[in-house]
Amino acid sequence: MNMHAQPQRTLAETALIDAFGERLSQLPGDGAVMVKRDDAIEAIKHGLPTRRVESWHYTDLRRLLTNVPAFEADAVAKALAPVLEGSAVLPVLNGVSQTKLPEIDGVTVQRLSEKLTDGSVAPGLDTYGDDDAIGALNTAFVADGYFVDIADATELEKPIELQNLQAGGQSHVRLLARVGAGAKAVIVERQTGEGDEALISSVSQLVVGDGAQVTWLIVQEQPDTATHLAQFKAHIGKDGKLTLFVMNAGGKLVRQEVVVRTTGEGADFKLRGINLLAGDTHTDTTMVLDHAVPHTTSTEVIRNVVTGKARGVFQGRINVHQYAQKTNAKMACNTLLLSDDGEFSTKPELEIFADDVVCGHGATVTEIDHNHLFYLMARGIDEKSARGLLVKAFVAEVIEELDDEALVEALEERLDGWFSTHG
């Protein structure tokens, strides 16, 4: 209980601090960037967050992060066929962006290493709080990624797929995007890899301009050797609309943070998430949503399926600021717990400082409804298939809501893929 004593550094903490010393000379960045990197590593020197840090209550990073693999310069990763057919693919392979990139009308793409070198992204490297361990880790080590700028009033015909792929080792990537006023875009963030143990930190930052409409899909299918620490941060301008879809279907230790702020009246945010958890893994989805201005709306629906010895976490906090009157925010988190060794913890929070609001959240944890099972089995479907049908229907419901046939089909295909290996 005595918090005065500075605990001894864990192996992982020491490895990170040592790695910083070794990597520093190779990391791109001007003076301003380097100052941010120093601040960030200082934060890590104070120790990784433990369960005593409220936002890390269910993911004791200090205890769970047991091993930090070294950087592997010669690991090979290859770009993959995109999730959505016809997408323009921007791959980051083993933490390195590519020079040969597709031309897209109305879109400017820059390598992030260049923007680090000229210091233009320095202000965005700040962490957002004392407990922002992922932000700190990424700021300290980030070497590359992309900056995608979609001009005002551009309606993208084809989706853009940002691929972050590695084959073991460490990589720290940032994906920045600005969607101009009145523009429309579908962006896929693909997080996957293969091979040996890996530590990945990935931070995505999105600015949704006034009246812009963005659908952003995070498809995380890391191998079960990977530690995946990711953050998605977005600002939504006046009358802007953001639909964020998160699919977690892999990884050994995963934390996906979603930090969203409505900055203009009429902004709307939708979060839809499915967590498919199997094996001896730990997956944490943590959302902090700030309704900072009046007349903004949000809905969040998270569905979880827990099998094997998997541990799942969903934390969702909705902050309604004092002047954010007429906020309408609803959040639901439903979990199917399918094995006795699995566990799921959820903490849906509401912090409300304005009075003229309608906010609510619901959370359930349960097993498969026996009545539903009976209904199907009474129609001659064997138990295993009936269970499979029900579980799939439970998560597919969230996908079907996306209202875009190509998206729905592509995601259902990923879903089928997961069920065929884990079903």
Partner 1 sequence: MPAVQETIDRVRKIDVDQYKYGFQTEIEMDKAPKGLSEDIIRFISAKKDEPDWMLEWRLGAYRRWLTLEEPTWARVHYPKIDFQDIYYYAAPKSTPGPKSLSDVDPELLKVYEKLGIPLKEQEILAGVQKPAAADGEAEIGDNVYKSGRVAVDAVFDSVSVVTTFKEELAKAGVIFCSISEAIREHPELVKKYLGSVVPTSDNFYATLNSAVFTDGSFVFVPKGVRCPMELSTYFRINEKNTGQFERTLIIAEEGAYVSYLEGCTAPQRDENQLHAAVVELIALDDAEIKYSTVQNWYPGDAEGKGGIYNFVTKRGDCRGDRSKISWTQVETGSAITWKYPSCILRGDDSSGEFYSIAVSNGYQQVDSGTKMIHLGKNTSSRIISKGIAAGFSQNTYRGQVSAHRKATNARNFTNCDSLLIGDQCGAHTVPYMEAKNATAKFEHEATTSKISEDQKFYVMQRGIPEEEAIALIVNGFVKDVIQQLPMEFAVEAQKLIGISLEGSVG
Instruction: Summarize as ranges the residues that interact with partner 1 (CB under 8 A).
Output: 1-3, 54, 57, 322, 325, 335, 337-340, 342-367
Q: Around 248, how many Cα atoms within 13 Å sit in the side-chain half-sphere?
A: 35
Q: Are 331 and 360 in contact (CB under 8 A)?
A: yes
- Spatial distance between the Cα atoms of 82 and 80, rounded to a whole number of angstroms: 6
Angle in degrees, CA 402, 272, 418, rounded to 5: 85
**Of the two residues 128 and 323, which places its CB atom closer to partner 1 in the complex?**
323
- Which residues are registered as beta bridge partners of 89? 161
**Of the two residues 1 and 378, which places its CB atom closer to partner 1 in the complex?**
1
We find the least distance from the C-beta atom of residue 239 to partner 1, in angstroms, to be 24
For the CA atoms of the chain, what is the radius of gyration?
21
Q: Which residues 6+ apart lie within 8 Å of 274 measured at CB? A: 246, 247, 248, 249, 302, 303, 304, 305, 395, 398, 399, 415
Residue ranges of alpha helices (H) inside 187-257 are: none
How many helices (H) and strands (E) the chain has is answered by: 8, 19
**Of the two residues 102 and 374, which places its CB atom closer to partner 1 in the complex?**
374
We find the least distance from the C-beta atom of residue 341 to partner 1, in angstroms, to be 8
We find the least distance from the C-beta atom of residue 273 to partner 1, in angstroms, to be 17
We find the least distance from the C-beta atom of residue 190 to partner 1, in angstroms, to be 31
**Of the two residues 241 and 317, which places its CB atom closer to partner 1 in the complex?**
317
**Of the two residues 184 and 295, which places its CB atom closer to partner 1 in the complex?**
295
We find the least distance from the C-beta atom of residue 187 to partner 1, in angstroms, to be 32
Q: Are strands 169-179 and 226-236 parallel, antiparallel or unpaired?
A: unpaired
Read off the DSSP letter of residue 83.
Answer: S
We find the least distance from the C-beta atom of residue 360 to partner 1, in angstroms, to be 4
We find the least distance from the C-beta atom of residue 294 to partner 1, in angstroms, to be 11
User: Terminus-to-terminus CA distance in the chain, angstroms?
Assistant: 43
**Of the two residues 240 and 342, which places its CB atom closer to partner 1 in the complex?**
342
Query: 373: burial class by Cβ within 10 Å (0-12, 13-18, 19+)?
Result: middle
**Of the two residues 53 and 70, which places its CB atom closer to partner 1 in the complex?**
53
**Of the two residues 59 and 163, which places its CB atom closer to partner 1 in the complex?**
59
**Of the two residues 28 and 49, which places its CB atom closer to partner 1 in the complex?**
49
φ/ψ (deg, to 5) at 224? -80, 20
We find the least distance from the C-beta atom of residue 328 to partner 1, in angstroms, to be 10
Token code pair at residue 267: 């902004």
φ/ψ (deg, to 5) at 137? -60, -45
**Of the two residues 72 and 343, which places its CB atom closer to partner 1 in the complex?**
343
We find the least distance from the C-beta atom of residue 251 to partner 1, in angstroms, to be 21
We find the least distance from the C-beta atom of residue 196 to partner 1, in angstroms, to be 31
- Spatial distance between the Cα atoms of 103 and 100, rounded to a whole number of angstroms: 9
- Spatial distance between the Cα atoms of 148 and 160, rounded to a whole number of angstroms: 10
- Spatial distance between the Cα atoms of 79 and 311, rounded to a whole number of angstroms: 30
Token code pair at residue 227: 């530690």
